[in-house]
Amino acid sequence: MKKLLHFLKRYKKECVLAPLFKLIEACFELSVPLVVASLIDRGIGGADKPYIYKMFLLLLIFAFFGFLFAVTAQYFSARAATGFAYELRRTLFSHIQSLSYSDLDFFGVSKLITRISGDVTQVQTGVNLTLRLIMRAPFVVFGAVIMAFTVDSHAALVFCVMVPLLFVIIFLIMFGTVPLYKRIQSRLDSVTGTTRENLVGVRVIRAFAKEEEERDTFDKKNTALYRASVFGGKISALLNPVTYFIVNVSIALLIYVGAIRVDGGAITQGAVVALYNYMAQILTELVKMANLVITTTKSVASASRINDVLAAEPSMKNGEIKSAEGYDIVFDNVSLRYRGAKEEALSDITFTATEGERIGVIGSTGSGKSTLVSLIARLYDITGGKLTLGGRDVRDYDLSFLRSFIGYVPQKAVLFSGTVRENLCAGKSDVSDSELYEALDAAQALDIVKKKEKGLDEEIEQGGKNFSGGQRQRLTVARALVKKPRILILDDSASALDYATDAALRRAISELSFSPTVFIVSQRASSVMGCDKIIVLDDGKISDMGSHEELLSRCPEYEEIYYSQFEKESE
């Protein structure tokens, strides 16, 4: 939790004023029992009505100013806590954005979502309560003990036994529940991950009638979360009953001692009432402190999980070079091992892609096609060999500069909520409508936009749900073409297109005025057969490389892919 406190630097004033106003309110509260004692002994005991009215008015003044200071303290604590959460969430999101694909794979999307939402909210609640109670509760507790001694030192000895005992119980329960809440949050991550997978893959689950199995899997993880929560709740639930038991026993003992002292003439009845009120104040504050401990315990567990993300250094270091002396790409014995994997995903990859060349990448599912092209834009960093662009190691380039001249169309077409225009301008904002239409035309998506009532200003729902798979793919290709990249990577970006549209798209790309180096990743032989060079991948290695005619005559893997597809076409 300490590591996150620097996010409160901008709210130092609020962090000081919130506890300060709470302390002033506590001073008014501690004065009330003395006023009540005086009212009973002198006003009611002496039948002094003017004095009773004066004390009653004084109590109303205490109540008004106490309320005023309490509201002011709440305002400052809420302001500080909200600002803290804002700064923390912004920093956390920015840090997550700086992590590489490998880092994101390591943490998992569901865990990161939980940290930036639920965990930050939990820490925010902890900060809010802490600013209001961290000083007020101990101040009232110890203040009540001191004030009790000023009333009667003998009866106040009950406080000296009760308060330390309660603090011991509170801290024992707090230290016992911290690991429990960490376990609960871990179970919550698992439930969130399962829920996310089911929502994303709902079509696949229903297509294979796996609803019952997925429901059982969710029930198991949800049950684990339930049991962990119940167990943690049982430990936390001990706090209030134990606290009330000790305080009520202390009150009974106090009244007994007070009655003996009153009977002996040592103290007045008003003094006993004052002592009882101080004991009640201690009870109230300890209940608040118990809730603070529970909330703080949860906050500490959440803060620890947030720190795990913030402490993670991006595995991909940014380079400094912001200029390129050519765009030839050379893979020299390149290999890649995913984080935590036992075997290499790619190995012994060696080839050269000259500027303006069209490179096809083909192979069976899982052969490493997408992994290979992702290395060019440094979505992953190579773990062996050398990868150069323009004669320089790609790791020496500034990431923003490197990706500024690369147009990447991912395997899964992703559109964001907003307008068509906003999606197309994601890579380059300062473009005219004519340039947008030019990119749409090349991507075979012009008819999609023209058929829409609002054209470029047509709204796209989250994930592009109001467009078909083929339409989403063509729009993502258009988005990559808008920036007129020097290197264009099409990662199986035509899988949802029919053969005629796919052929028209490839023809349009080959006729682009800015002549980019094109990488076409596909499982269709027809998509890559027109390329200058075709790379055949098999189990993460280059099986063969050459033109369509060369591979058809000498590469069994390519021959198998080609004839299996064209035989199906002729049937």
**pLDDT tens readout for residues 24-79:** 988 888 888 888 888 887 778 777 788 888 888 988 998 899 899 999 999 999 99
507, 446: one domain: no
CA distance between the termini of the chain:
67
Identify the sign of the CA torsion 239, 241, 245, 251.
positive
Confidence of residue 164 (pLDDT cuts 50, 70, 90): confident
Is the whole-model pTM more than 0.75? Answer: no
Lowest mean pLDDT of 240-244, 345-349, 414-418, name the range.
Answer: 240-244
Residue 568: pLDDT above 70?
Answer: no
pLDDT higher at 407 or 3: 407
Domain count across the chain = 3
Collect all residues with Cβ–Cβ distance below 8 Å to 152 and sequence separation of at least 6. Answer: 258, 261, 266, 267, 271, 275
With b for 16 or more beta-carbon neighbours within 10 A and e for fewer, the 109-130 pattern comes to: ebbbbbbbebbbebbbbbbbbb
Q: Are 362 and 346 in contact (CB under 8 A)?
A: no
Q: What percent of the chain has pLDDT over 90?
A: 35
CA angle 511, 517, 519 (to 5 degrees): 100
- Whether residue 411 is contained in a domain is answered as no
| pLDDT for res 165 | 83
Residue 491 main-chain phi, psi, to 5 deg: -90, 90
Give the separation between CA 303 and CA 293, rounded to whole angstroms.
Answer: 15
With b for 16 or more beta-carbon neighbours within 10 A and e for fewer, the 221-252 pattern comes to: beebbeebbeebeebbeebeebbeebbeebbe
Domain of residue 491 covers: 329-405+485-570
User: Would you state the structure tokens that stand for residue 99, as one six-digit string?
Assistant: 């992590």
- Whether residue 231 is contained in a domain is answered as yes
- The three-state DSSP-derived secondary structure of 305-370 is HHHHHHCCCCCCCCCCECCCCCCCEEEEEEEECCCCCCCCCEEEEEEEECCCCEEEEEECCCCCHH
Give the separation between CA 154 and CA 466, rounded to whole angstroms.
Answer: 78
Cα 225 versus chain centre, distance: 19
- Work out the average pLDDT over 387-407: 92
Q: Where a domain ends, among 276, 310, 344?
A: 310
The CA–CA distances, whole Å, from 308 to 95, 107, 179, 311 equal 12, 10, 15, 5
291, 395: one domain: no
- Whether residue 410 is contained in a domain is answered as no
Lowest mean pLDDT of 273-287, 378-392, 468-482, name the range.
Answer: 273-287
Cα 79 versus chain centre, distance: 22
How many residues does this entry show for the chain? 571
Return the CATH number at 234.
1.20.1560.10
Residue 570: pLDDT above 50?
Answer: no
pLDDT in tens, 121-140: 989 998 998 888 888 888 88
258, 389: one domain: no
- Work out the average pLDDT over 182-186: 78
Q: Where a domain ends, among 283, 310, 337?
A: 310
Give the separation between CA 252 and CA 157, rounded to whole angstroms.
Answer: 14
Confidence of residue 395 (pLDDT cuts 50, 70, 90): very high
461, 355: one domain: no
302, 242: one domain: yes
Give the separation between CA 422 and CA 442, rounded to whole angstroms.
Answer: 18
| pLDDT for res 46 | 75
pLDDT in tens, 305-330: 898 889 888 888 889 999 888 899 99
pLDDT in tens, 233-257: 887 777 778 877 887 888 888 888 8
26, 131: one domain: yes
The CA–CA distances, whole Å, from 561 to 330, 523, 541, 564 equal 27, 8, 17, 5
Q: Where a domain ends, among 277, 310, 343?
A: 310
What is the helix (H) or strand (E) element at residue 385, kind and residue range? strand 384-389
Burial class of 97 by CB neighbour count within 10 A (0 to 12, 13 to 18, 19+): exposed
Residue 64 main-chain phi, psi, to 5 deg: -65, -50
- Whether residue 441 is contained in a domain is answered as yes
- Whether residue 345 is contained in a domain is answered as yes
275, 186: one domain: yes
The CA–CA distances, whole Å, from 232 to 119, 237, 410, 419 equal 17, 8, 44, 47
456, 498: one domain: no
Confidence of residue 567 (pLDDT cuts 50, 70, 90): low
Residue 453: pLDDT above 50?
Answer: yes
Return the CATH number at 526.
3.40.50.300
384, 526: one domain: yes
Q: Are 50 and 58 in contact (CB under 8 A)?
A: no
| pLDDT for res 331 | 95
442, 554: one domain: no
- Whether residue 558 is contained in a domain is answered as yes
- Whether residue 324 is contained in a domain is answered as no
184, 306: one domain: yes
433, 557: one domain: no
Confidence of residue 427 (pLDDT cuts 50, 70, 90): confident
| pLDDT for res 1 | 62
Tell me the average pLDDT of the chain.
86
Quick check: helix, strand or coil at residue 24?
helix
Residue 547: pLDDT above 80?
Answer: yes
* Nearest CA-CA partner of 105 in 286, 267, 315, 273: 315
- Whether residue 322 is contained in a domain is answered as no
| pLDDT for res 50 | 87
